[in-house]
Amino acid sequence: MLGVTVLTFVVQLPLFLIDLYWQSRIDELGTAFNMSGADMFVYFAFRLLYFFVSFVIAYNIVRIYLKISHGHNFSFSDVVSMPTKNTWTYLVVSILFGILVVIGFILLIIPGIYFLLRYHFAPTLVVDKGMGVMEAFRKSSEMTLNRKWQLLGIYLTMFFVCIGILILGLICLLIGVIPALFIVSWLGTFIMLDLYKKLL
């Protein structure tokens, strides 16, 4: 999984650096709306491109992690694969999942936690099994039935472990932050994929 993380970083680095440039421009001007018409057009076009590329890479990374968990190899082309119909289904499911969780948190937090746990695997099912939107939500609901306390325990454990790792990284004069983020990424992915396979 180290190779996947490094490849992702290399692919996204140019966009990240361009984003830093635009953020510095915005800081100088106070707001994006103080830009000239041409600059504003370029900026918003870049933001759209950044979202699109980041989303496609995120989908590809999930697919690669699933390949690894199933014992298959991956290549650099897997990281930069062009989107398919399934990619857009993944986008729709991810957005709906996010909306449900946000609305749930607005409604006194507990419903948000419930939706987070119940539909956690819906996006993964789209990538792994090619399911449609409603099918993925139904299957995730079945998988997490009577397992929500276990999922909540994993979430809380991951949260506190990740906080501890990030604090240790910051203590190392910021030098350890990037390795710490890698560790956090591997930890979360490994735990959730292991649980996913057990519940599937």
Q: Are residues 69 and 7 in the same domain?
A: yes
Q: Are residues 153 and 136 in the same domain?
A: no
pLDDT at position 62 over 80 = yes
Q: Are residues 63 and 23 in the same domain?
A: yes
Structure confidence at residue 97 (pLDDT) = 93
Q: Which two tokens stand for residue 37?
A: 């018409």
How many independent structural domains does the chain possess? 3
| CA 83 vs CA 55, 63, 86: distances in Å | 10, 12, 8
Q: Are residues 6 and 75 in the same domain?
A: yes
Q: Are residues 16 and 61 in the same domain?
A: yes
Helix spans in the chain (H):
2-29, 37-69, 76-79, 85-106, 110-118, 122-129, 133-143, 148-171, 177-199
Dihedral of the alpha carbons of 14, 175, 192, 116, in degrees to the nearest 10? -80
Asked if 193 and 65 count as a contact pair (C-beta separation under 8 A), the reply is yes
DSSP annotation of 81: P
Q: How far apart are CA 170 and CA 124, in angstroms?
A: 32
Quick one: pLDDT band at residue 89, thresholds 50, 70, 90? very high
Domain that holds residue 193: 147-200
Quick one: pLDDT band at residue 12, thresholds 50, 70, 90? low
156-188: pLDDT as tens digits: 887 787 777 777 767 766 555 666 666 666 677
Q: What residue type is assigned to position 32 of the chain?
A: A
Asked if 131 and 125 count as a contact pair (C-beta separation under 8 A), the reply is yes
Q: How far apart are CA 54 and CA 33, in angstroms?
A: 24
Q: Are residues 130 and 118 in the same domain?
A: yes
| Lowest mean pLDDT segment, chosen from 44-58, 63-77, 177-191 | 177-191
145-158: pLDDT as tens digits: 888 888 888 888 87
